[in-house]
Amino acid sequence: MNKITVSIIFVLLGILSGGDFLILPAQSRQIKDSRGNEVTVPDNIRKVYAGSPPATFMLYALDPGLISGLNFPIAEQDKPYLRSMMHSLPVLGGFFGQGEAANTEVILKANPDLILLWSQRNSILKNQNEEILMKKIPIPHVYVFFESIYDYGNAFLFMGKLFNREQRARLLAQYAGETLAEVDRIAASIPAGRRPRVYYAEGSDGLNTECDESWHAELINIAGARNVHQCKSIDSFGMVRLSMEQVMIYNPEVILVHEKPFYNKIYSDPLWKDIRAVKSKRVYLIPRIPFSWFDRPPSFMRLLGIKWLMNNLYPSDYKINIVKEAKYFYRLFLGVDKTEEEIRKVIYP
């Protein structure tokens, strides 16, 4: 008997038994995820719940139509820079320790075909906790690995194969590869004496930062600059607290600012007025609409962020019209066409 005949027989049996039978399962396949797990997934994955913002953002870039729900509500200022289909999605929470916690009942109600989980280096405990929770949810889950900006190309290719979006994935991976090849080439050509000492200012008072080896601040190293806070990260969260005295000792040539309220006051704050970066007007507010171009949360926007950073650090060596580049990037990765004026408001708020 052919497949159609078999299906008709099962339907008839279901009707005769009151229609309370199990429909034949959809076609499935087995894949190996980024952690080496063998996972059986549907051939046709229609809806996906991503357990953290980085994974959700990657899914958005690949195909926002796959997203079954958000990890946290979209801020009003970010909505114009995202496809309208995102605005009405339910908030399902996440497994990322901050913000909205995931609710298993809500996830099950959203009925995704698959759960996508972000895998990092040195995150065994985090993954173990997720595995315990995943046992309560009868939905296949897949880990995708990306931590460094250099991981994005392979992550897109893996996801493209997983979700049958390979052509789109290759396009995004190509952008990532070409961007990093260009940045690496130019950064390597900068003499040691021209590589600035950079301080990454986080928090409302600018006194939180990241160790030089932290992936939160990896764009500084990739750009060939020197992170003034040389230390070993004790955890993946970061946000190391410093004193103002320590910042004065570092006396950085460039300051990258995460929070706009701090940026708005740094030039008028007497505590910061003698810092070299402030005196030379080399304090830069990191763009963060609709997601940060640098960090927290990390996303594919860092591929644009490294270009923005290189242009600020070495304007004569890395010549780029960052407004036009961002306009193209937003169309390619975010699927939105914005005017140059709208892009300028993101870069120079």
Which tens digits make up the pLDDT trace of 206-254? 999 999 999 899 999 999 999 999 998 887 778 999 999 999 999 999 9
Looking at residue 127, its pLDDT comes to 57
Give backbone dihedrals phi and psi of 147, rounded to 5 degrees, phi first. -130, -55
Q: Please give the mean pLDDT across all residues of the chain.
A: 89
pLDDT of 297 strictly over 90: no
pLDDT of 97 strictly over 60: no
Answer whether 25-174 and 191-347 agree in fold.
yes
| CATH number, domain 191-347 | 3.40.50.1980
> CA 110 to CA 66: how far, in whole Å?
12
Contacts with 120 (C-beta within 8 Å, 6 or more apart), sequence order: 126, 145, 147, 236
Q: Rg for the chain (alpha carbons), in Å?
A: 23
Domain boundaries, the chain: 25-174, 191-347
> CA 8 to CA 4: how far, in whole Å?
6
User: Which residues does residue 241 pair with via DSSP β-bridges, in sequence order?
Assistant: 208
pLDDT of 310 strictly over 90: yes
pLDDT of 1 strictly over 50: no
Could you name the CATH architecture of 25-174? 3-Layer(aba) Sandwich (3.40)
